[in-house]
């Protein structure tokens, strides 16, 4: 049984790369092959859910690659499969070249690898491949602007990974091992260096401020993929480490609460749809980290909802909320937007509700206030989408492929609801409803009339790099404490 | 002593990324930093000895640890390919921004 699972895992893990590199030989069937790979991932995630115990393997000898797969990985893998499938469906009729699908599927494969590996070096390789594939996807339009956004992304991510690598070297020095478990009793500076890399890659707290510009200035399908799954490749190891090691858990929780508040504070005052969604990703990663035990389910619902929102935002006539208020949007698109917004605000009947209830249940006492504030902020920021004017008149045609993609994601949201149906008790239902109502009230009375321009200083390139050194100091202090 | 040199290299590279204005200089600074990290791995590997871990007469168990060396080989290849990719992007950017000043480019492409 175990050896069969191992064969299956290896086939699943390597398939995206084989397909990715051989798509060039069969350019006519690029979309079909890419979609097939995501279906295989979906099936694999389902098999993982059915496993009674976590699976782990040590490939080759004691210094070989370590893999670990459990239901946490399964949630992340399923997210990856669904979001990639939706993106491919979205691009189906848009005349993307074979190159685009190759990069998308290699990105899919490397993100999968990040979700299953359990040693520092395999993770490093997976994260770097993710960086390269993402760079190529962002730069796909070949405009100077997209090149700059991509270059900036690769620069920040590679510098972060150098810090990570330093941390890995120091950990090896103490324990002669690269496995995640070697972090136990590792020197302070090693853990701090490692975390700078992962926090930056996962878009957490101030070191994640590269994310808004990158995610909002990319093309719609690329934004959806980045916000839906790629940031989670940096978040997943943090969740895994928090679950494995007790010393790490409080650090991860602090950053979870911090980033949830920071992201939502920016999102509330943002006047641009895509930037608002991107800031909101920063905040939602905080929810995943705030309660590592149930982070998997939260990541799944966030991935589905954020990909759907980015794809829908791409179909809106304008990016500015102000212009959207004067320009009614087509009602079906508005409905899709509202369903996604409801789910992310934690409205019952959608899986965002279950995920939020589950996360709130697993918080530590000191986190409760911060996370409820963040939930309120979420309701406020998404009121901006819900209260947009709409009309049944079709202003502009939606491209083919849009609806299959969005419907797949929204259906995923409804179906994922069954994962935690215990959530439906009266008290559980009343709380999110109260938060949403309060959020709308605050939005209509205060936020809508306010014009606040938050400074973007921290998003400048130099500051992004500089913040890494500051974070290093902060982390050093935290690990020491 | 050697550790101090290695850390100094890494730090110098990092400050180069931070303080240099020109994009090409920034990339070179990043290369310096990654050279430092590679040296750190080599140093960690040399803790047990300095000889190549191949059985031969006269080395008497004074072998270097092959694991960090093998690992860093992968990282060198990755770092090299990323640098190549970045330089290609810079070449394309240089057509419209011949000075390659980061600040100016950032101003220009800000939303």
CATH number at residue B13: 1.10.287.3510
Confidence tier at A349 by pLDDT (50, 70, 90): confident
User: What confidence tens digit (pLDDT) does each residue in A403-457 have?
Assistant: 999 999 999 999 888 777 777 888 888 888 999 999 999 898 887 777 778 888 8
Domain count for chain B: 1
pLDDT at B59 over 70: no
Residues paired with residue B51 on neighbouring β-strands, in sequence order = B63
CA distance B16 to B27: 9
**What is the structure's pLDDT at A43?**
95
Is residue B58 situated within a structural domain?
no
Mean pLDDT of chain A: 91
User: What confidence tens digit (pLDDT) does each residue in A210-237 have?
Assistant: 999 999 999 999 999 999 999 999 999 9
Query: Would strands A55-58 and A329-330 be described as parallel, antiparallel, or unpaired?
Result: unpaired
Is residue B55 situated within a structural domain?
no
- B68 closest CB neighbour out of A166, A172, A460: A172
Residues paired with residue B63 on neighbouring β-strands, in sequence order = B51
Number of CB atoms found within 10 A of residue A476's CB = 17
User: What confidence tens digit (pLDDT) does each residue in A318-345 have?
Assistant: 889 888 888 888 888 999 999 999 999 9
Q: How many angstroms away from the CA of A14 is the closest CA of chain B?
A: 18
pLDDT at B39 over 90: yes
Half-sphere exposure for A420 (CA within 13 Å, toward CB) = 22
Q: Answer whether A366's CB lies under 8 Å from A290's CB.
A: no
Is residue B54 situated within a structural domain?
no
User: What confidence tens digit (pLDDT) does each residue in A48-92 have?
Assistant: 998 888 888 888 777 788 899 999 999 999 999 999 999 999 999
Residues of A in contact with B37 (CB under 8 A): 162, 165-166, 169
Average pLDDT of span A359-364: 90
Q: How many angstroms away from the CA of B93 is the closest CA of chain A?
A: 6
Mean pLDDT of chain B: 90
Is residue B56 situated within a structural domain?
no
What is the number of H-type helices and E-type strands within chain B?
A: 4, 0
CA distance A37 to A45: 12
Alpha-carbon dihedral B19, B15, A126, A60, rounded to 10 degrees: 160
CA distance A41 to A83: 11
Domain span at residue B85 reads: 2-48+63-108
Q: Answer whether A301's CB lies under 8 Å from A351's CB.
A: yes
Q: How high is the ipTM of this complex?
A: 0.95
The burial of A396, by beta-carbon neighbours within 10 Å (0-12 exposed, 13-18 middle, 19 or more buried), is given as: exposed
Confidence tier at A462 by pLDDT (50, 70, 90): confident
CA distance A224 to A107: 13
For residue B68, give Cα distances in angstroms to A82, A188, B50, B64: 37, 20, 13, 9
CA distance A328 to A219: 23
A167 near B CB under 8 A:
no
Half-sphere exposure for A250 (CA within 13 Å, toward CB) = 8
Give, to the nearest 10 degrees, the angle between helix A71-91 and helix A98-116: 170
Residues of B in contact with A147 (CB under 8 A): 89, 92-93
Kindly state the helix (H) or strand (E) to which residue A273 belongs, with its residue range. Answer: helix A273-290
User: What percent of chain A has a predicted confidence (pLDDT) above 90?
Assistant: 62
Is residue B101 situated within a structural domain?
yes
Kindly state the helix (H) or strand (E) to which residue A69 belongs, with its residue range. Answer: strand A66-69
Q: Answer whether A305's CB lies under 8 Å from A382's CB.
A: no
Confidence tier at B63 by pLDDT (50, 70, 90): confident
Number of CB atoms found within 10 A of residue A116's CB = 28
Q: Answer whether A171's CB lies under 8 Å from A178's CB.
A: yes
Is residue B88 situated within a structural domain?
yes
User: What confidence tens digit (pLDDT) does each residue in A81-100 have?
Assistant: 999 999 999 999 988 999 99
Alpha-carbon dihedral A467, A468, A472, A473, rounded to 10 degrees: -20
């Amino acid at each position: 049984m175990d050896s069969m699972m191992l064969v299956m895992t290896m086939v699943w893990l390597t398939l995206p790369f084989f397909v990715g590199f051989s798509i060039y030989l069969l350019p006519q069937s690029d979309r079909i092959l890419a979609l097939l790979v995501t279906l295989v991932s979906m099936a694999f995630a389902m098999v993982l859910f059915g496993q009674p115990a976590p699976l782990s393997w040590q490939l080759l000898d004691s210094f070989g690659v370590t893999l670990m797969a459990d239901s946490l990985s399964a949630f992340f893998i399923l997210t990856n499969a669904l979001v990639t499938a939706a993106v491919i469906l979205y691009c189906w009729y848009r005349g993307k070249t074979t190159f685009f699908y190759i990069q998308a599927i290699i990105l899919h494969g490397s993100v999968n690898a990040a979700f299953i590996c359990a040693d520092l070096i395999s993770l490093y390789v997976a994260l770097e491949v993710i960086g390269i594939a993402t760079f190529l996807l962002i730069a796909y339009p070949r405009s100077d602007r997209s090149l700059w956004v991509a270059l900036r992304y690769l620069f920040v991510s590679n510098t972060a990974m150098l810090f990570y690598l330093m941390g890995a070297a120091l950990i090896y020095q103490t324990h002669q091992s690269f496995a995640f478990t070697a972090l136990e009793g590792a020197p302070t500076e090693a853990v701090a260096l490692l975390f700078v890399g992962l926090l930056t890659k996962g878009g957490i707290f101030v070191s994640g401020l590269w994310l808004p510009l990158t995610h909002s200035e990319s093309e719609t399908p690329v934004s959806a993929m980045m916000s839906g799954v790629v940031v989670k490749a940096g978040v997943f190891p943090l969740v895994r480490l928090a679950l494995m090691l007790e010393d790490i858990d409080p650090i991860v929780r602090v950053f979870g609460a911090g980033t949830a508040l920071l992201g939502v504070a920016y999102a509330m005052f943002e006047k641009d749809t895509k930037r608002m969604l991107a800031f909101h990703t920063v905040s939602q990663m905080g929810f995943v980290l705030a309660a590592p035990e149930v982070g998997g389910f939260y990541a799944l619902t966030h991935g589905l909802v954020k990909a759907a929102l980015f794809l829908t935002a791409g179909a809106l006539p304008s990016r500015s909320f102000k212009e959207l208020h004067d320009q009614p949007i087509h009602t079906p698109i508005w409905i899709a937007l509202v369903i996604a917004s409801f789910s992310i605000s934690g409205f019952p009947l959608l899986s965002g509700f279950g995920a939020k209830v589950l996360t709130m249940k697993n918080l530590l006492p000191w986190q409760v206030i911060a996370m409820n504030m963040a939930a309120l902020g979420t309701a406020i920021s998404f009121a901006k989408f819900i209260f947009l004017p709409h009309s049944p008149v079709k202003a502009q045609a939606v491209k083919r492929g849009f609806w299959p993609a969005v419907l797949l994601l929204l259906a995923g949201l409804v179906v994922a609801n069954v994962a935690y149906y215990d959530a439906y008790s009266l008290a559980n239902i009343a709380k999110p409803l109260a938060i949403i109502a309060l959020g709308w009230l605050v939005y209509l009375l205060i936020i809508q009339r306010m014009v606040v321009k938050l400074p973007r200083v921290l998003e400048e390139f130099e500051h992004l790099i500089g913040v890494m050194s500051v974070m290093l100091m902060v982390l050093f202090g935290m690990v020491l404490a | 002593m050697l550790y101090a040199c290695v850390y100094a290299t890494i730090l110098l590279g990092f400050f180069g990324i931070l303080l240099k204005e020109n994009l090409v200089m920034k990339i070179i600074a990043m290369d310096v930093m990654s050279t430092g990290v590679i040296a750190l791995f080599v140093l960690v590997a040399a803790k047990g000895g300095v000889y190549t871990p191949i059985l031969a007469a006269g080395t008497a168990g004074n072998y270097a640890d092959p694991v960090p060396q093998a690992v860093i080989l992968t990282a060198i290849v990755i770092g090299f390919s990323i640098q190549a990719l970045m330089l290609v992007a810079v070449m394309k950017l240089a057509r419209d921004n011949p000075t390659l000043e980061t600040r100016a480019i950032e101003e220009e492409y800000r939303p």
